[in-house]
A and B are shown apart, each in its own frame.
Chain A
């Protein structure tokens, strides 16, 4: 029995019992997803998918990566994306496809041709199922990278503390990507607010190792190049101990225990330099 005949036979079978199959399919999937998606929505998705698969089979055989399966694939992309966003696992996503096999199994007549056709079709469904898993993974990765970006944006505000003094409260670990963002924002805000002093507060930084210290130093040096003084504040007792144990040198960069100490230091320096905005 040739491939085309097999496809024809499948199309025949799938068309004849269309409504019954869709009904069973929806039932099986609803059970596996345990009511986390409405039946109406699922019915709409699966009916559409069923139609697309049928059409693809009718128009050009069983090769799932071929051109005429484009419609099916785009429906599956949409389905996997929705599932991924709603927090379903890859298994729960793929089961929407795989359970069509379960639906077809009871109608096998036991003839060799039937079994062969069923096996072919199930191979096709395997491919489509894997495709949804892939797409699911891709969507999750996209979500993660978008969130990482948002986190980067969220966690690096630059605040004006006084006339001519800006503060950067750092929260979270400092890696090179974040250092870059912090540096950019800090330097730009120095210019925008015409500030001569910057205070980097590391109260929210959980740990300081040589890497983090290196990044802090870079930021301070860059601010100095622009002509602003930098103070590091919010060094907790354990962090002070770690810094000394690791032998990290902050050189001539002033460091203070609290933000208020650093602010007082900055204001005193401004007063000494005869700049406006000293202590009242």
Chain B
């Protein structure tokens, strides 16, 4: 049986910390586990921690983009955190990108970003409901 990447739940965010070099089967398992968990928990954010990875190639890059797309379909935003400087430089030299996946320096900032994104989402309808002109419209 192959190793599985653990998916941890913190509030309404799911944390995926990748500690080992990934193989095809692990990636498939991870995608399956993660989408199941997003649906089961109603999570609205996914944080993928790659601070342990020393090499990020096109394979890993594509995996991150795929996971972000899957999560977005299920209503959760993905943030990739903890990329090492050497990894970022290599990706740039190779001309690779992470396909528009949101990144943050570390776990703390990633969670901070997801929180502020949620506040904005929750906050905006609240304000419009409270304001006199649009308030009537929403009722």
Binary B-proximity of A175-192 (CB < 8 A = 1, otherwise 0): 000001001100110110
B8 → chain A, closest Cβ, in Å?
A: 20
The smallest C-beta distance from B116 to any residue of chain A, in angstroms, reads 4
Q: Is B104 an interface residue (CB 8 A)?
A: yes
CB-based contact A196/B89 at 8 Å: no
A102-120: which have CB < 8 Å to B?
A: none
**A226-B105 contact in complex given A187-B85, A188-B85, A274-B119, C-beta closer than 8 Å:** yes
The complex places the Cα of A69 from the Cα of B79 at a distance, in Å, of 69
* Distance in Å: Cβ of B129 to nearest Cβ of chain A: 21
- The residues of B that contact A273 with a CB separation of less than 8 Å are 113, 116
CA gap between A29 and B42 in the complex, in Å = 90
B88 lies within 8 A of A222 (CB): yes
**Majority SS at the chain A contact face:** helix
Within 8 Å of chain B (Cβ to Cβ): is A85? no
**CB of B81 closer than 8 Å to a CB of A:** yes
Q: Are A194 and B105 in contact (CB under 8 A)?
A: yes
Chain B positions 98 through 119: 1 when the CB is less than 8 Å from some CB of chain A, otherwise 0: 1000111110011011011001
Q: Which of A218, A221, A222, A227 contacts B105 (CB 8 A)?
A: A227
Count of A interface residues, CB-CB < 8 Å = 22
A274: chain B residues within 8 A (beta carbon) = 112, 115-116, 119
- Chain A interface residues toward B at CB < 8 A: 180, 183-184, 187-188, 190-191, 194-196, 218, 221-228, 273-275
Interface residues of B, Cβ cutoff 8 Å to A: 79-81, 83, 85, 87-89, 91-93, 97-98, 102-106, 109-110, 112-113, 115-116, 119
The 4 closest A-B pairs by CB, nearest first: A187-B85, A227-B103, A227-B104, A274-B116
11 CB-based A-B contacts, threshold 8 Å: A184-B89, A187-B85, A191-B105, A194-B106, A195-B105, A221-B97, A223-B88, A225-B87, A227-B102, A227-B109, A228-B105
